[in-house]
């Protein structure tokens, strides 16, 4: 179906370029995509005692593009609804008319294709995991599938494509059989499920007024909170188990403790979406910062640019 949205005045090339960048909504996914893919690759390297290769980087870029595609196709598909709300219309470059519906589709398709091509450079299993990620990203938002509007399926698909498959695709670059690495893959998937439940609770009142049918609406606020906390606790336990079964080098623990201690010295009042937060929402940003620092330090070491003395 073709859609058209009006935009007063001529749109410059600079405005178009900025709109394309906004359409990717990179700030919302790059901070977690980078550490997940890198950690997946480095866990495989460490467990199999193999040498780091350049193939990690195209797979990392592929996942960033895949997550960009997820947000792009979401805004394209939501444009008709967003156009009815002044605030949502201002955020959505399709419904605000800066980019046309046709341009949005073309950009989304190009991003999908480029990501798929880069996944192929990681091997056929990485290609398969990446292809599944892209398909889920499409089905999550596109009509008539709209997995995000289907209770239970919304959380399962969200957690799988925005976490589990990211770390798995990184792992498969170096090892076709994750084995005990599944513990960490499940841990980050549960962490993503926690994030989805958290967001649904934050949007509960607005979503209820809009008649949106998601898992939080099905379970109710109290039960959703219980499931959310259960996912978080399970994720923390599995991360601890991952450390216990040797998925990470011992020296990385010292780096992690220094980073966590340093971040604990600061006050954190916002969640990942920039909203004022309480309880678990306040630790989202420092956990994300810690994950990026730990992953990047380990990456530098794996590339031979940092020498860690043997204990």
Domain count, the chain: 1
Query: Could you tell me if residue 91 is inside a domain?
Result: yes
In a domain, 59, yes or no: yes
Domain around 271? 23-302
Per-residue pLDDT of 244-276, as tens digits, reads 999 999 999 999 999 999 999 998 888 887 778
What letter does residue 85 receive in the DSSP assignment? Answer: S
**Is 14 inside a domain boundary?**
no
Q: Evaluate whether residue 6 is within a structural domain.
A: no
Whole-angstrom distance, CA of residue 33 vs CA of residue 62: 10
User: Look-up: residue for tokens 């219980």?
Assistant: 226
- Residue 7: the pLDDT is 55
pLDDT at 207: 81
CB 107 within 8 A of CB 177: no
307 in any annotated domain: no
Domain assignment present for 123: yes
The Cα-based distances of 138 to 99, 108, 189 in angstroms read: 20, 10, 19
The parts of the chain modelled with pLDDT lower than 70 are 1-9, 310-311
- The CA distance from 111 to 141, in Å, is 16
Closest alpha carbon to 36 in 263, 207, 287, 237? 287
What CA–CA distance (Å, rounded) separates 100 from 241? 49
- 258 located within any domain: yes
Is 139 within the bounds of a domain?
Answer: yes
> In this predicted structure, what is the pLDDT of residue 85?
78
């Amino acid at each position: 179906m073709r859609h058209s949205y009006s935009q007063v005045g001529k749109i410059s090339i600079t405005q178009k370029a900025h709109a394309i960048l906004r359409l990717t909504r990179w700030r919302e996914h790059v901070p977690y995509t980078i550490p997940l893919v890198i950690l997946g690759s480095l866990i495989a390297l460490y467990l199999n005692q193999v040498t780091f290769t350049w193939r990690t980087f195209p797979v990392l870029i592929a996942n960033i593009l895949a997550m960009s595609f997820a947000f792009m196709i979401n805004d394209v598909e939501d444009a008709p609804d967003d156009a009815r709300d002044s605030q949502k219309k201002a955020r959505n470059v399709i419904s605000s008319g800066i980019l046309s519906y046709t341009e949005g589709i073309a950009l989304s398709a190009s991003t999908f294709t480029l990501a798929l091509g880069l996944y192929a450079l990681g091997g056929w299993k990485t290609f398969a995991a990446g292809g599944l990620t892209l398909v889920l990203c499409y089905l999550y938002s596109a009509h008539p599938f709209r997995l995000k509007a289907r209770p239970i399926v919304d959380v399962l698909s969200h957690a799988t494509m925005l976490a589990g498959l990211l770390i798995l695709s990184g792992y498969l670059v170096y090892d076709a059989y994750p084995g005990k690495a599944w513990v960490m893959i499940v841990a980050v998937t549960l962490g993503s499920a926690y994030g989805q439940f958290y967001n649904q609770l934050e949007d509960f009142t607005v979503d209820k007024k809009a008649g949106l049918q998601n898992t939080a609406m099905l379970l109710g606020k109290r039960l959703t909170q219980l499931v959310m906390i259960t996912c978080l606790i399970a994720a923390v336990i599995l991360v601890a188990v991952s450390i216990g079964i040797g998925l990470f080098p011992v020296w990385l623990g010292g780096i992690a403790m220094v980073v966590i201690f340093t971040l604990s010295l600061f006050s954190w009042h916002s969640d990942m979406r920039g909203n004022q937060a309480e309880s678990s929402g306040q630790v989202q940003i420092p956990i994300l910062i810690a994950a990026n620092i730990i992953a990047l330090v380990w990456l530098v070491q794996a590339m031979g640019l940092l020498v860690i003395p043997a204990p």
